[in-house]
Each structure stands twice: as C-alpha cells, then as structure tokens.
Amino acid sequence: MSSFKFSRLDFLFTCVGLPVFLLDVGLDIWAAVSFYRAGAYWSLGILVVLLVGSSVLVQVYSWFWYRYEDFRRETKVERSLSQNQLRLVHLLQLGIYLRHASVLELSVLNCYLKNNNGFVVYLTHDLSMLKIIETFTESAPQLVLMLTIILQEGRLDTFTVLKAVGSASAIAFCVTTYHRSLRSFLPDKQNQCFGSSLVYFLWNLLLIASRLTAVALFASVLPCFVFTHLICSWMVFFFFAWRSQTDFMDSAGGEWLYRATVGLIWYFDWFNVTEGRTRYRTLVYHSFMLVDISVLCGVWCWKMITDPPYAAVPPLNAAVTAAGVISVYVLGLLLKILYYKCCHPNLNKEELKGDDSEYQTAPEDQVDALMFRMAPVQQKPSPPLPYSNKRMRKLAENFYS
C-alpha cells in the first residue's frame, strides 16, 4: 500500500495556516471592540458566547485526542511540555496553537531533509478536523450575526456584500481543505485533480452561502425566534446523529459530544458520518434543508410586505430576494450532483491508504538531528505510531466507500 505524501502544496498550506488563524483571532477581537464602542451589547454578548464556546469545544476535542493516544507527543514542541503543562495549555485555550506549531515544525523538517515523512500528514488530519469544528461553531454563526446586523441596519453596499462573500468563501475553503485531507487516503492513481476540488469548493460555497443568508434573513425580522429554530433543528439533527450509530471517538462521553457537534454542523452543511451508501440520507437531508430555507425566506418575505417597519420594501424586491436565495441552494445541489457523477471516486475501504496494520517509526530522531544541525545521533527505539489517523480514516471510509 502506498505511503502518505506531504507535497509542496501541503507545505504551503501549513505555512499559511497559522498566520491566517492568528489573523482570524485578531479580526474577532476587532469585531468585539467595535460592538463595544457602538454600544451593541447584545451583539457583543452573542459574539463572546460564540468565541468562547467554540474555543472550549475545540480544546476539549484536542485534549481527548491526546488522551486517546496516551499523551504520546512526537515533536520537539510537544515534548517540551509535561502532561500537567499540556493540560494547562488546553485550559488556557492554546491547544490548537500547539498543534499548529507541531505541524509547522514537522513540515519544515520534511522540507529541510526532503524525506517526505508521512507522519506530518497524521498531524494535519487532526488539525483539519479541529478547523472544521471551529468553522461551524464560530465562523458560520458569526457570519449569520454579521449579515443580520447588516440587514437590520439596511447598509447593503458593494463592500459589505464582498465582505460577506469573502467570509462565506473562507468557510467553504475550510471545508475544501478538510476534503483535501480525506483525499490523502486515496491511492495515488485515484488522486483527484484541481478541477474536482474547484467543483467541491463551488457547491459548498453555494449551499453554505444560501443557508447562512436564509437564517440571517429570518433573524433580521424575528431575532428571538431564530434561537428557537436553531435549538429545535439541532435536536432533530442530534437524534439522527445518534441513530446513525457513529463510531468516531474512543470513549462514550467523547462520542456523545461528537454527535452533538455533528448536529450543530448539520444545521449549516452536510457532513457524512456513517459508512455505506448515503444517497437516501443525503436526499432526505437536502430535502429538509430546501424546505427549511424556503420557509425561512417565505417568512422574511411575508414580514417585509406586511409589517409597517418593513412595508417600504417593494413586494417584488422581497420576492426576488427570497427566490434568489432558494435558487442558489438548488444550483449548489446541481453542482454537487455533477461532482458525484464526474469527479467522486468510489472505492472499497480496503483500497484506501492507512490500514491499521501499517506502522511507521516516529520522527523523533530526525527532529533531534535537525535541531543539532544534522549531527549524528544515537538511534534509540521509539514505540511505533499508527501509520494513519484512524479517526480521519473512518471519515474517509464514509466519504469514499
């Protein structure tokens, strides 16, 4: 079976990833300060809840995964911390930065030694999953909040539209990088081209943008009821995640947390969590979402036409806007069908890379060699690590088999 490859493009994504993540944190702080100065304390409160809640959730997942691996740490950055210090790092909400630094360390090492050690791919898989969780528990709700404020204040200019499209594109790009992580499990002959990734990005952008816009339209006229809508929808999705009998985490508590997280992700976008033919599950999901988006847009359109504060909006404009949001979702579905018809490989799970029977040596000695300017070091035995990330391999099996 072929080994994992860490390409130059992967190295570029790794080098850009940490600065972009830090920039996102800076923009979050800037948004919080702007709300405070404007006296928008309700918006500030919602933003703080999103930021803190998402950060805590990501740290919990990161800590669970360290614990599942018996706190084995194979990079210089990680090994410099004791187990208690590692716990403190996560309590201080810095666990994901530690993982970014670990991936960056091994990426530079691979580039310097040109040995293409696949262990760095193992680390990037966990990081990509953490980014997905952060995206749909913070970035997506935050974009809904921003769109809601824009709609309520009526400042719909070109710059604002471009900013919203850019934010939605960033969410779709995160989903696409997660897809790229799953692609690393494909046999080399089945690896997908840039065109398939572009189609994948576009249909996710259209579906996510339509969903977020519909929720924002509804929230702009019935802000209190949007929380009821979220909770009720999440309960339905959580029930179906439980019925799907997911098997992602290594503990019962972790698995329930994962199912609750999947329910929240499903509120915004489809996320495949079970193995086998998912055509009917996907059909049911998108049918529900299309009806839900139609209802949300219909309620907004009705409020625009009938309520005095909004009655100044021409009925035709409201109807065209609502129909446009629904049409964007339908267009995204057509692109998704095109992707699965033309670009999606269907494989047996045995054909994927990263079988549990494969192992590789941890790159500990190579890290030491780089730190001491390639001076010879005494080889010391280290326990074998799984060749692939079993959590992400399960998701790859769900997606490709």
Instruction: Please tell me the predicted confidence (pLDDT) of residue 156.
Output: 67
Instruction: Please tell me the predicted confidence (pLDDT) of residue 104.
Output: 82
Instruction: Please tell me the predicted confidence (pLDDT) of residue 54.
Output: 94
Q: How far apart are CA 105 and CA 76, in angstroms?
A: 8
Cβ neighbourhood burial of 394 (10 Å; 0-12, 13-18, 19+): middle
Spatial neighbors of 259 by CB under 8 A, at least 6 apart, are 238, 241, 242, 246
Please tell me whether residue 386 adopts helix, strand or coil conformation: strand
* pLDDT digit string, tens, across residues 59-113: 999 999 989 888 877 778 888 888 899 999 999 999 988 888 888 887 777 766 6
Q: How far apart are CA 301 and CA 296, in angstroms?
A: 9
Are residues 401 and 278 in contact, defined by beta-carbon separation less than 8 angstroms? Answer: no
Which segments of 303-366 are extended strands (E)? 359-360
Instruction: Please tell me the predicted confidence (pLDDT) of residue 227.
Output: 93
Instruction: Please tell me the predicted confidence (pLDDT) of residue 382.
Output: 40
pLDDT (tens, 9 = 90+) of the chain, 401 residues, equals 445 555 666 666 666 766 777 777 888 888 888 889 988 899 899 999 999 999 999 999 999 998 988 887 777 888 888 889 999 999 999 998 888 888 888 777 776 666 555 667 777 788 888 999 999 999 999 999 999 988 888 776 666 677 778 888 888 888 888 877 777 666 554 555 667 778 888 999 999 999 999 999 999 999 989 999 999 999 999 999 998 888 888 899 999 999 999 999 999 999 888 776 677 888 999 999 999 999 999 999 998 888 766 655 677 888 999 999 999 999 999 999 988 888 766 655 555 555 544 444 444 444 444 444 444 444 444 444 444 567 777 776 766 65
Amino acid in position 172: A
Q: Which of 352, 395, 349 is nearest to 1 (CA)?
A: 352
Instruction: Please tell me the predicted confidence (pLDDT) of residue 2.
Output: 45
Give this prediction's pTM.
Answer: 0.84
Instruction: Please tell me the predicted confidence (pLDDT) of residue 194.
Output: 66
Give domain limits for the chain.
8-346+389-400
Instruction: Please tell me the predicted confidence (pLDDT) of residue 377.
Output: 41
- What CA dihedral angle connects 130, 394, 207 and 225, to 10 degrees? -60
* pLDDT digit string, tens, across residues 253-276: 999 999 999 999 999 999 888 776
- DSSP for 139-194, written as a single string: IHHHHHHHHHHHHHHT---HHHHHHHHHHHHHHHHHHHHHHHHHHTTS-GGG---H
Helix (H) or strand (E) holding 385: strand 385-386
